[in-house]
Structure 1
């Protein structure tokens, strides 16, 4: 076992990483298609693995005492051999440096641990399906860590009630994969006061993918996930580094995400497709991204454009991007073209449009029109989630004075 310190470690310091929701081998549904370059897709698919590698390397270089992984390490309850072998190798790497790892399973990687042997190296401790406490010594500090792993996908019970009040230890940490009661979900519900009453020194939460602080004293944190997996998980992702050498404790965010999800809104005055395309690339280039961005591009037109012109614009952007994305560190995975809200009808009275919109795009009307197609799930989802898009396209057609057919 290797344990080297680059500095003389003070005996009153406890230093650890809090991470959660690794979702290793996340499928990134909908991103793989004929337009996505193979090298980009491989980078996207491997991003959760590479983000975790960075966390492990940081744990070693920062010489932490232990790592807390607060649930949903894996994207599903049955891991492929590749994913399991990868995780095992990372645990063995930490073991070589004497870094302990404490794991709870969540609603994605739930496991009946009464039926499962632990094949991880000795530095790894997996909490069982009932609340339990593991006590360790970090130099002269007695540290207790309490948690439990999901045995099934949904946990409706208030598992927090089974967590003991802080005992006679120097540092007490709670690990919990769950959601606040008021959200009404089925994941080990709790409220803030439940946690505070336990008198713990730190709560390491998992399940919510957005990094957030729920309380300052004691510190109660969701670390968020280590790699965004879709457009509803935008921005930089990573873990929290906790250092107890100061009062209050020093808690810092460290980035691990390989790829970030981003939204770019552009107002467009031009009507020339080539000019619009060039402006899009100029805007992205100006951002000077230092790592790959997956961009949802919203083009907000101040002048109407026919459906054929929209399709041509989207094709031109994506076609050029296929050879430029590496230099720009950006890939546009979705392009939405809509008309500016400030743009007024020039030939149709706004009041007439508002009345027509209310009557025509009423849910019952849409249901009737799509009745024969609703046996297909993807059509149901598209209709239910794209009502605003349908309205925008109708408005655009009326304003452009065209029927949406391509001209010869």
Structure 2
């Protein structure tokens, strides 16, 4: 019989995310993270897994670092007072956490040096055709461990490698020991294809499936939507983000939250998903999030002859919806004070150029208690000018880059079957080239390794520089 263990698996906390340039949103993300820390004490877990993208950016401001320092320090003190022991936070770096051109170290490395978290990363030795991974135990090297054992559970951690990740699956398998007497957790940061619309991920390939022979629980981060795979025989788990990071997560009703896992028998772990909830909650099993009011109004319905008339119609329509939520006189730190996601659609009889989004936002903020208003008008059409404004103004820089790369790739039909993988590779290479610690020989070898695993070319062509 193995020693029972209990743990929380979370990811994509994105601390420091001042979404929509709202300082209060940064505090919302802190609240969600702190809720999970308190929940872990209540549940008396053995450890917490934090599977990457802890920070929204490695260029986080001092305010964010000070806040997480205080939260984790208080958490360690509270766990000692309540449980007479500390609950270790075991983390890996996600793509948002890694050092970049302006920083030589990541903030997670800094937190690990302060002994606030345990940051896992294997030692690597890159060869021409493969990579050697070595998971150094925490008991042997507390500064740069690749794994840690707690009771009869072994936790291995690998940071985000972007598009190169799937080429490393066979090397990771070879590096993992055959430990049939322990419950083995592997923590990584990547997504699985098909789980999130328009998000690049990896297929459940044979190389990935092979890891299950040595891994009981694959703890993922990266995609902000909860999933567990394969169906009915789950061993791959992604909890989703703690807070809303993008309007699409509301529109597509992403399930998100954390996993609370209890293991008495390693073949049959008890896994419970604790979800988020809009606004405040008295339930101990719901993670309070900022309330987002998702509202759609057809501005062609009331036969307005001008946007000025449509504006009055919109404000009157919102009165019914917003006042039902009882939002009057709420403070900014109250999670019930909503961010309004207002989608306008319909066919109008006046010019599309008359639609004044800034004026609309201004009037809504004047009339109602809201934290912010985001307006999406891409579906509004005009009978007289046919102008349709795309919603692309709301696209992130990463989405714009992906669109540009996709257009470049589509000029070469031979690469069509690999377009998603190539886009991810291009994004990763851009980040690597900007990295102050870049190694061009290593980058060259990584490109060759990626190419061998995706594109069939004669060996002589591949070896050309």
TM-score range, shorter chain: 0.5 to 0.7
1:258 aligns with 2:289: yes
**Candidates 33, 38, 45, aligned match of 2:26:** 45
TM-score (norm 2): 0.58
In the alignment, is the contact (CA less than 8 A) between 1:68 and 1:102 conserved in 2? Answer: yes
Which residue number corresponds to residue 207 of structure 1?
Answer: 222
In the alignment, is the contact (CA less than 8 A) between 2:242 and 2:258 conserved in 1? Answer: yes
Change (3 A) 1:147 1:75: same
Which residue number corresponds to residue 159 of structure 2?
Answer: 149
Classify the secondary structure of the residue corresponding to 1:232.
helix
**Candidates 259, 269, 294, aligned match of 1:240:** 259
In the alignment, is the contact (CA less than 8 A) between 1:196 and 1:218 conserved in 2? Answer: no
Matches for 1:7-406 after TM superposition, within 5 Å: 13-28=4-19, 31-32=20-21, 41-96=22-77, 97=79, 98-111=86-99, 118-121=112-115, 124-130=117-123, 132=135, 134-138=147-151, 142-150=152-160, 155=164, 158-161=167-170, 162-163=172-173, 164=176, 166-180=178-192, 191-197=204-210, 198-199=212-213, 200-215=215-230, 216-234=232-250, 235=253, 237-244=256-263, 247=268, 249-255=270-276, 256=287, 258-259=289-290, 261=292, 263-268=294-299, 269-270=301-302, 271=304, 272-273=309-310, 274-286=312-324, 291-301=336-346, 303-307=348-352, 310-311=355-356, 315=359, 318-326=362-370, 331-336=372-377, 338-339=379-380
- Point out where structure 1 has 5 or more consecutive residues left out of the alignment: 1-10, 33-40, 362-377, 386-408
Classify the secondary structure of the residue corresponding to 2:249.
coil
CA distance in 1, matches of 2:350, 2:191: 45
Residue 316 of structure 1, CA deviation: 5.2
Change (3 A) 1:285 1:203: farther
Change (3 A) 1:245 1:75: same
Classify the secondary structure of the residue corresponding to 2:29.
helix
In the alignment, is the contact (CA less than 8 A) between 1:180 and 1:192 conserved in 2? Answer: no
- Larger Rg: 1 or 2? 1
CA distance in 1, matches of 2:162, 2:216: 29
Change (3 A) 1:305 1:221: farther
Classify the secondary structure of the residue corresponding to 2:355.
helix
Which residue number corresponds to residue 409 of structure 2?
Answer: none
Q: Deviations over 1:80-121 (max 9, x none)?
A: 33333332333333433121111111222125889x674232
Q: Deviations over 1:343-370 (max 9, x none)?
A: 9x6xx9xxxx9xxx8xx99xxxxxxxxx
Give the aligned length. Answer: 321
Q: Deviations over 1:318-365 (max 9, x none)?
A: 324345225xxx64222427547xx9x6xx9xxxx9xxx8xx99xxxx
Classify the secondary structure of the residue corresponding to 1:321.
helix
In the alignment, is the contact (CA less than 8 A) between 2:217 and 2:235 conserved in 1? Answer: yes
- Point out where structure 2 has 5 or more consecutive residues left out of the alignment: 80-85, 124-132, 136-145, 277-286, 328-334, 389-396, 405-465
TM-score (norm 1): 0.65
In the alignment, is the contact (CA less than 8 A) between 1:296 and 1:334 conserved in 2? Answer: yes
